[in-house]
C-alpha cells in the first residue's frame, strides 16, 4: 500500500481564522503555517487560482515548513480557461491586453502574454519543486470544458507547459466521467501519466462529477467538497458549508485505503472550507485511516 497524505484546502481563509482553530500564539502568517504543518503533512494552496504567486512567497512557504511537508498548488484561473480579473494579471502584462474589460478569458488574451503568464507562474513554484515540497499543480477545468479532442490536447499542453512540475487533473463537466465515457477518460489520463482527481461533491448540477475513485498515475488525489445544498452560491462559506458525519468519514476512509493500494502516493484534501469544518474532518479522517493501518503519513 502506498502512503497517504491528508490535508485541507487553504489554511488562511477568513472563516477559519474566525473559528478559533488556531491558538492565540499562532497570530501571524509564519506562525499559522508552522502550526498548520504541525497538524497535517499536506496543504492545498487555492489563493494562486485568484492571483498568481510570487517566487518570494513560494520561498517563504518552503522555509516555514518542515522537511517532508507537501504543497499542492491550484493553477491560476486564466490558465485553466476560467474568467480572470484583469487586475489579477501581472501589472506589466495588463498594459498589453488592450481591453477595457474587467474580466477576460484565455481566448481574449494575446498568445505571447499567455506564454509569459505560464512562464512566470511555473517559475514562481520552482523553489517548492526544487525542495521536494511541491506535490502537484492542480489543473481544475471549468464546467464549460467538456470531453473532446481539442480539450484533451489542451490538457496535454498544460502538462507540457508545467514541466518539470507535476500536475493533476480535476474535471467539473460530467461528460468526462459519464458511464459511457468514464473508461475512455481514465485510459487517456493513464496513458499520459496524468493523475485523476477523484471528487466528492453535490450531484445534479452541470458541474457535478460522480465520486469515482481511480488511480491513473503514481499519484492519486481525492478532494472532498462536501454536500452543501447551496452549491451554486457565490458565498464560499455557503457553497462549502458542510461537515462530514462520522459515518461518511468512515466510509471514505475505507474507500481511500482501497485507492491507496493501487497508487504510490495518495493525497486527500478536505475542501469543505467553512469555519474549521475542513480541519476537523481531515484530522478525524487521519485517525480513521491510521486505525486501518492504511499508510497514513503523520505530520512532523
Where along the chain do its domains lie? 3-291
Question: What does the pLDDT read at residue 98?
Answer: 77
pLDDT of residue 254: 97
* Cell 469555519, residue located: 275
Do 240 and 272 form a contact (C-beta atoms < 8 A)? yes
Question: What is the spatial distance between Cα 94 and Cα 82, in angstroms, rounded to a whole number?
Answer: 17
Distance of CA 135 to the CA centre of its chain: 10
Partners of residue 137 on adjacent β-strands: 73, 167
Which pLDDT value is given to residue 99?
80
Class of residue 69 by CB neighbours under 10 A (exposed 0-12, middle 13-18, buried 19+): buried
Torsion, CA 31, CA 34, CA 38, CA 43, rounded to 10: 120
Q: What is the largest CA-CA distance in the chain?
A: 58
Nearest to 48 by CA among 72, 19, 64, 24: 72
263: Cβ contacts below 8 Å, ≥ 6 apart: 2, 215, 217, 218, 219, 220
Quote the CA–CA distance of 4 and 191 in Å, as a whole number: 23
Successive 10-residue mean pLDDT values, the chain, 300 residues: 93 93 94 97 97 97 97 98 96 87 93 97 98 98 97 98 98 96 98 98 90 97 91 80 94 97 97 93 97 92
Q: What is the pLDDT of residue 229?
A: 82
Please tell me whether the overall predicted TM-score, pTM, comes out greater than 0.75 for this model: yes
Residues 3-291, CATH architecture: Alpha-Beta Barrel (3.20)
Q: What is the pLDDT of residue 191?
A: 98
Residue 230: predicted pLDDT: 81
Nearest to 287, CA basis, from 47, 2, 4, 1:
4
* Pairwise CA distance, residues 44 & 70, whole Å: 9
| Strand spans (E) along 62-217 | 70-74, 84-85, 103-104, 134-140, 167-170, 197-200
Amino acid at each position: 500500500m502506498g502512503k497517504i497524505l491528508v490535508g485541507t484546502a487553504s489554511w488562511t481563509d477568513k472563516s477559519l481564522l474566525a473559528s478559533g482553530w488556531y491558538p492565540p500564539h499562532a497570530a501571524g502568517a509564519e506562525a499559522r503555517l508552522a502550526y498548520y504543518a504541525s497538524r497535517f503533512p499536506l496543504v492545498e494552496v487555492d489563493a494562486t487560482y485568484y492571483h498568481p504567486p510570487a517566487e518570494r512567497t513560494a520561498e517563504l512557504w518552503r522555509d516555514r515548513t518542515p522537511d517532508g511537508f507537501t504543497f499542492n498548488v491550484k493553477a491560476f484561473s486564466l490558465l485553466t480557461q476560467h474568467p480572470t480579473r484583469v487586475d489579477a494579471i501581472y501589472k506589466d502584462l495588463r498594459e498589453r491586453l488592450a481591453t477595457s474589460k474587467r474580466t477576460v478569458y484565455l481566448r481574449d488574451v494575446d498568445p505571447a502574454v499567455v506564454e509569459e503568464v505560464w512562464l512566470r507562474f511555473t517559475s514562481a513554484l520552482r523553489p517548492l519543486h526544487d525542495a521536494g515540497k511541491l506535490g502537484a499543480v492542480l489543473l481544475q477545468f471549468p464546467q464549460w470544458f467538456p470531453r473532446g479532442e481539442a480539450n484533451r490536447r489542451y490538457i496535454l499542453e498544460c502538462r507540457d507547459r508545467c514541466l518539470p512540475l507535476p500536475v493533476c487533473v480535476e474535471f467539473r463537466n460530467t461528460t468526462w466521467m459519464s458511464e459511457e465515457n468514464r473508461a475512455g477518460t481514465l485510459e487517456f489520463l493513464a496513458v499520459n501519466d496524468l493523475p485523476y482527481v477523484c471528487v466528492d461533491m453535490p450531484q445534479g448540477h452541470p458541474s457535478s462529477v460522480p465520486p469515482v475513485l481511480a488511480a491513473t498515475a503514481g499519484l492519486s488525489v481525492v478532494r472532498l467538497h462536501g454536500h452543501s445544498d447551496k452549491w451554486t452560491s457565490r458565498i464560499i462559506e455557503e457553497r462549502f458549508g458542510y461537515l462530514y458525519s462520522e459515518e461518511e468519514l468512515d466510509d471514505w476512509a475505507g474507500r481511500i485505503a482501497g485507492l491507496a493500494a493501487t497508487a504510490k502516493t495518495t493525497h486527500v484534501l478536505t475542501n469543505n472550507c467553512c469555519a474549521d469544518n475542513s480541519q476537523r474532518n481531515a484530522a478525524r479522517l487521519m485517525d480513521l485511516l491510521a486505525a486501518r493501518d492504511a499508510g497514513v503519513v503523520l505530520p512532523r
